[in-house]
Structure 1
Amino acid sequence: MEGAYILLFFLLFLHKSYAAVLHIISDSSFLTDRDTLVSPARIFELGFFKPGSSENRYLGIWYKNISIRKVVWVANRDYPLLGTSPLVLKIVDQGILGLFNNISLIWSSNTTTLANVTAKLQDNGNLVVIDQDSGVIWQSFDYPTDTLLPGMKLGRDLLRGKEWHLSSWKSSQDPAPGEFTLGADAVGYPEYKIKHRALVKVRNEPWANQLLCRIVIGNKSLAFTYDVIIQEVSKGQLEFFWATREMVVGRRWQSINMTQQSCACLDEKRFVPKNPKGWETGDWSSGCIRRAPLECKNGIEGFIKYSNLKLPDTEYTWFDMNMTLEECHTKCLQNCTCMAYANPDNTRSICLFWFSDLLDIVQPDDIGGRDIFVRMASTELGNNV
């Protein structure tokens, strides 16, 4: 096999000493380190690049017609190509899309099929391997790097056990996975979080169908996908790149920085700091507790509505995709461990239940938060049952 690869490169550079723009890769049409693969409408381009001042080479995808190159996907981010050895991307044995140097296989799509196979770059930036009999058998959208393109997903494929998440570059010169990730929790109602290693740095609102994103919650997947922006995670920040739906006119990157926050109890009339001394010194880790403890006697407890909030962390929650708020109230009241309930998406009937501490409730700076109904002792209810 090694001899065959050496012969391949000998023939390759004997007969092809010019750069080419390709629209398809097959077993007879291959991409060298001088070529690029371009999407049909010339929106995206795939080729080899060197990040920053690094001499390492990578196979990546970027916007073709935006002057400041922004690489949005990297194939061999864990396997830099050193030196100046010739490179080729080609369909080989049993439908594998493989990246080779003159010694070995560097990266592959890890696919297997006996049918004729081609690889194409779509106008949404998705590199696909297509089996003529069964269609797409592999796609780069299933392996995001640090950027979320319109149509990509973050979340989980429940059938295949696959997770879609972003991970930062190690540095501007090294696209290997860095210490920051953006993804969804493995349990509970889906929401995405930026983590520094295992530490949660930023948590979003629990998923809801909003202007720029679509939410998919079903038996096969839990995911959200954006319509009109690129989202990148870098050094614990989110950067947004705005463009038209046709993705041909780029504007500029905007960074969202992590900010330091102060804490307050949700309701100072009904909640107090669990550790008052720590609270005074800026240690809010113990959170707040109810002034009147819950007793859960004969259903006499109830719920108080708090509005315009970023809902609590949903890692330890249960949800029903077809339940009214009235049904939520009844079901939560019947379970003494149910601490709160809410509808995270006002466009449809969803009930989200919390069964542990309510963590990371935030009052947004602008209107647009959600309502949450928090379980309280009967002595705290007054006229708010």
Structure 2
Amino acid sequence: MHHRSHGVIKKTQLLNKHCCSCLITIPTSAHCHMMTFLNILIIFVFSTFVVSILSTCHAAEDNLAKNEKISDENHDTLLSPGKIFQVGFFGDQNGNQRYLGIWYYMDPKTIVWVANRDSPASSTSCILMIEDDGNLVVKDKSQKYFTTRLPSSSGSRTLKILDTGNLILVSESGTLVWSSFSFPTDTFLPGMYMDKTMKLTSWKTQHNPATGNFVFQKDQVFGYNNYTIFNEKKLHWKSGFGLESNINPTKMPMAALHLLSKSNSTKTSLPYSRVVMNSSGEIQLYYWDITIKRWVLNWSEPKDYCAKYNACGPNSSCNISNSVGTNSFCNCLPGFELVSDLTTLEKVCKRTSTICSGNDTSFLSMEIMKIDVTFQTFLESRSEAECKEKCLGLDCCQAYSYNNVRNDELVQAGVPGGKQGCWIWSAGSQLVDVQIGKGVSGHIIYIRNPVSIGTLFTYMLVNFFFFSFELLF
């Protein structure tokens, strides 16, 4: 099955060939004048019958009423009023795996929603219809592949496809009872709202729309404008909350944040735009370029190996500028060495230097691109010296980082770190999601570490002098 492509889609609804192509032959012989009245009567009765049959044949519209159907076999579709989105069946041409989906009218290969993603039909005999109980279903003679599972209703309901790409089911009074926007698959469209309950789940593969491994959603800890990607149960990427090398604490462009926010409307600056959680683990923002008539990738994360969450493991740093090869990106932080974990037998960075003994107050300063501070302590402080003092006041403080820039937006949102103050890694804390890089102005983190000059020189050499240091006493 071609990636998000499907069979020929007709722009107009074909009338059912069994009920909509009948011909009427009217006798014209001069000897039949006595039968004129009878002929007129027959024609009237037969015409009434044909009209009644025709009324059951669904015309090319944006809505589907009760007792009407969209047939895969007949290549039937629904088309939004402005000819922006289309609803119909797609899949392989042999009919082995058929799906009901929504795609762009201008680009049928780009599927934005799939109804029966984990229950494909095995033939082209499927139909979409509203059943007597008011539920929308995709079915054939043998089984149902999708249903809205709404409480039974005897009232008449209508299915509509809007120019936003939202497929909605409404009651006789016009009340919304179900919408596809409430059940997205892998794509977020303008007009949706990403709250903490919404998830975008990738396709299984580039060619298979079944539920995949990657899930994009709002950060369940901080919320705000922070987002995460999980690969099954493992955190794969996060936009925040961490200390970053730039003023944007979310690592996301404003176009993406605006699209995902409640303030977004259908009248966005990028009307033909979409956010997609793809099958290889990247969250991507696309917009349609009307000049070249194709989709353009505007933004994607994680953009490289080091952009993945905690790519090198705890107490280590990732440097994408190092030589090619996953292992060469990673190095243990000063004072830590790569040893085998007795439980998992995996190689991990563990502290080898002795700290927190006697009057030990030595710290090594490093300039970093990013580090995660989600579960660390934040204390307000007016200077780096005060920050260090507060760190030493805790039991065996591991590290600290002073933030001298106030972010009123974060303060207003109630996110820690918005105020001027100090992030502290207390006893037992690990430094995770650390990235360093050449020529990047980042945050300074002070790691408690009375390292020897030899150890420090070796680490600096491995990382091509990508951090500076000073010993504070």
Range class of TM-score, shorter chain: 0.5 to 0.7
Partner of 1:193: 229
For the pair 1:181 / 2:212, whether they are aligned, the reply is no
Q: Please list, as runs of the form range in 1=range in 2, the aligned pairs for 1:233-312 lying within 5 A after superposition.
A: 233-243=278-288, 250-252=294-296, 259-261=304-306, 265=317, 272-276=334-338, 286-287=348-349, 293=355, 309-312=369-372
For the pair 1:107 / 2:146, whether they are aligned, the reply is yes
Partner of 2:4: none
Aligned CA distance change for structure 1 residues 292 and 144 (closer, same or farther; 3 Å): farther
Partner of 2:77: 36
Q: Which runs of 5+ in 1 are unaligned?
A: 1-10, 158-162, 219-224
- Asked if 1 retains the 8 angstrom alpha-carbon contact of 2:137 and 2:145, the reply is yes
Partner of 1:5: none
SS in 1 for 2:348: coil
Offset, 1:360: 0.8
Offset, 1:238: 4.4
- Asked if 1 retains the 8 angstrom alpha-carbon contact of 2:103 and 2:113, the reply is yes
For the pair 1:59 / 2:100, whether they are aligned, the reply is yes
Partner of 1:167: 202
CA distance in 1, matches of 2:179, 2:377: 32
CA distance in 2, matches of 1:361, 1:50: 43
For the pair 1:213 / 2:256, whether they are aligned, the reply is yes
Match 2:433 to one of 352, 360, 366:
360
Offset, 1:79: 0.9
Aligned CA distance change for structure 1 residues 54 and 82 (closer, same or farther; 3 Å): closer
Offset, 1:75: 0.4
- Asked if 1 retains the 8 angstrom alpha-carbon contact of 2:66 and 2:129, the reply is no
Q: Which amino acid letter does the alignment assign opposite residue 295 of structure 2?
A: R
- Asked if 1 retains the 8 angstrom alpha-carbon contact of 2:335 and 2:353, the reply is no
SS in 2 for 1:213: helix
Partner of 1:7: none
Give the % identical residues: 21
- Asked if 2 retains the 8 angstrom alpha-carbon contact of 1:142 and 1:164, the reply is no
Aligned CA distance change for structure 1 residues 338 and 22 (closer, same or farther; 3 Å): farther
CA distance in 2, matches of 1:200, 1:258: 16
Q: Which amino acid letter does the alignment assign opposite residue 209 of structure 2?
A: P
Partner of 2:113: 73
Q: Which amino acid letter does the alignment assign opposite residue 351 of structure 1?
A: P
1:318-373 Cα distance to aligned partner (Å, 9 max, x none): 89xxx98869x79x86876896677897744231577743311224678697x576
State TM-score, norm by structure 2.
0.55
Partner of 2:12: none
Q: Please list, as runs of the form range in 1=range in 2, the aligned pairs for 1:223-234 lying within 5 A after superposition.
A: 228-234=273-279
SS in 2 for 1:214: helix
- Asked if 1 retains the 8 angstrom alpha-carbon contact of 2:84 and 2:105, the reply is yes
CA distance in 1, matches of 2:382, 2:177: 45
Offset, 1:63: 0.8
SS in 2 for 1:212: helix
Partner of 2:165: 125
Aligned CA distance change for structure 1 residues 119 and 74 (closer, same or farther; 3 Å): same
In terms of fraction of residues, the more helix-rich structure is: 2
For the pair 1:49 / 2:84, whether they are aligned, the reply is no
CA distance in 2, matches of 1:382, 1:187: 35
State TM-score, norm by structure 1.
0.65
Q: Which amino acid letter does the alignment assign opposite residue 348 of structure 2?
A: S
SS in 2 for 1:275: strand
Q: CA RMSD in A?
A: 5.2
- Asked if 2 retains the 8 angstrom alpha-carbon contact of 1:96 and 1:109, the reply is yes
- Asked if 2 retains the 8 angstrom alpha-carbon contact of 1:181 and 1:233, the reply is no
Q: Which runs of 5+ in 2 are unaligned?
A: 1-15, 20-52, 242-248, 263-267, 319-332, 418-422, 451-468
- Asked if 1 retains the 8 angstrom alpha-carbon contact of 2:365 and 2:470, the reply is no
Q: Which amino acid letter does the alignment assign opposite residue 79 of structure 2?
A: V
- Asked if 2 retains the 8 angstrom alpha-carbon contact of 1:202 and 1:258, the reply is no
SS in 2 for 1:22: coil
Q: Which amino acid letter does the alignment assign opposite residue 90 of structure 2?
A: F
Offset, 1:88: 2.5
Offset, 1:37: 1.7
Aligned CA distance change for structure 1 residues 364 and 43 (closer, same or farther; 3 Å): farther
Q: Which has the larger radius of gyration?
A: 2
- Asked if 1 retains the 8 angstrom alpha-carbon contact of 2:187 and 2:274, the reply is no
Q: Please list, as runs of the form range in 1=range in 2, the aligned pairs for 1:84-99 lying within 5 A after superposition.
A: 84-90=124-130, 92-93=132-133, 95-99=134-138
Partner of 1:8: none
CA distance in 1, matches of 2:164, 2:398: 43
- Asked if 2 retains the 8 angstrom alpha-carbon contact of 1:229 and 1:243, the reply is no
In terms of fraction of residues, the more strand-rich structure is: 1
- Asked if 2 retains the 8 angstrom alpha-carbon contact of 1:49 and 1:58, the reply is yes
